[in-house]
Amino acid sequence: MIPLRDSLRSRSVPFVNYTLIAINVAVFLYQLTLAGPAMRVGGQVLTREDRWLYNWGTVACRVTQECAVEFDRTFGAAPNAWLTLVTATFIHAGLLHLAGNMLFLWIFGDNVEDAMGHVAYLLFYLIVGVIAALAQIASSPSSTVPAVGASGAIAGVMAAYLVLYPGASVHVLIPIIIIPWFTHVPAFLLMIVWFGLQVVSGVAALGARATGGEGGVAWFAHIGGFVAGLVLVWFFRTRRRSYDIRQQYDRFGWG
């Protein structure tokens, strides 16, 4: 299910959410400038973008100190490994990766910010993003693949949305082979189905890893971020809530 919009309207301007989206887009545009010919570095053939991703993305074995010396020798002086728990949240592996994450953040983040307030929402977003990264590291502490993307933090935002607005309605696109089907689903159903898919995929990834494979999606970052969001939202929420437009337009339909 691909969310397109929800039934809520913020009572305040979600400028923190807009700023987070803008930063993600700006970082991606900068990343595009790094494209160029590959060069040999420390015995490996790497592009400038490769080196940048390895330095600013979260590499689990650097955080756990299992490969820190080797990585510093290969990629040069890198930022503090713990700092990458934050910086990796603003880096994406491609346009579709960025677009998908920003779509979810656009739809659900504004209403969570509305309920928490601007400063609290920013702190919440960064904290669940860090916890999500730590969950991914715990699932594969020896991984040498840089984990990037805002999806762990956004998973926490989705969990907060579930707690704050379980009765909201979300307009979604469900692609059935090549036929698009548009419908409304309750927010709690969308979130539960999404989280269930992350758990199933995470377990499958562990099985693949046990046989020597390594997936390209940080499933446990999604799981860790979502669980963190379910817990932390109780400490960050206020009594303020976004307005559900169905209260005004139910008799006409809001779609």
**What's the CATH code of the domain at 120?**
1.20.1540.10
Residue 193: the pLDDT is 93
Q: Is residue 92 part of a domain?
A: yes
Q: Tokens in use for 181? A: 């089907």
Write phi, then psi, for 123 (nearest 5 degrees).
Answer: -60, -45
In a domain, 253, yes or no: no
Residue 117 lies in a domain: yes
Which pLDDT belongs to residue 67? 77
What is the pLDDT tens value at each position of the chain, 255 positions in all? 788 999 898 899 999 999 999 999 999 999 999 876 666 555 566 788 888 888 899 989 888 887 766 666 666 556 788 999 999 999 999 999 999 999 999 999 999 999 999 999 999 999 999 999 999 999 989 888 899 999 999 999 999 999 999 999 999 888 887 788 888 899 999 999 999 999 999 888 887 665 444 557 889 999 999 999 999 999 999 888 887 877 655 544 444
**In a domain? residue 60:** yes
In a domain, 23, yes or no: yes
pLDDT at 244: 81
Q: What is the pLDDT of residue 177?
A: 76
Q: Where are the alpha helices (DSSP H) in the chain?
A: 15-32, 48-56, 60-63, 68-75, 84-87, 95-116, 118-139, 151-164, 187-210, 219-236, 246-249
CA distance linking residue 87 with residue 73, whole number of Å: 21
Strands 44-46 and 2-6: unpaired
Residue 82 lies in a domain: yes
**Model pTM above 0.85:** yes
| Full domain range(s) for residue 54 | 11-168+186-242
183's enclosing H/E stretch is: strand 179-186
Other C-beta atoms closer than 10 Å to the C-beta of 134 total 21
pLDDT at 196: 94
Tally the domains of the chain: 1
Tell me the HSE value of 154 on the side-chain side, using a 13 A CA sphere. 25
Strands 179-186 and 2-6: unpaired
Q: What is the largest CA-CA distance in the chain?
A: 67
- The predicted pLDDT at position 254 comes to 46
Residue 1: inside a domain: no
Q: Is residue 3 part of a domain?
A: no
Q: Which residues of 168-205 are buried (b: 16+ CB within 10 A; e: fewer)?
A: bbbbbeeeeeeeeeeeebebbebbeebbeebeebbeeb
Structure tokens at 51: 């080196």
Helix/strand/coil for 65: coil
Identify the pLDDT of residue 205: 82
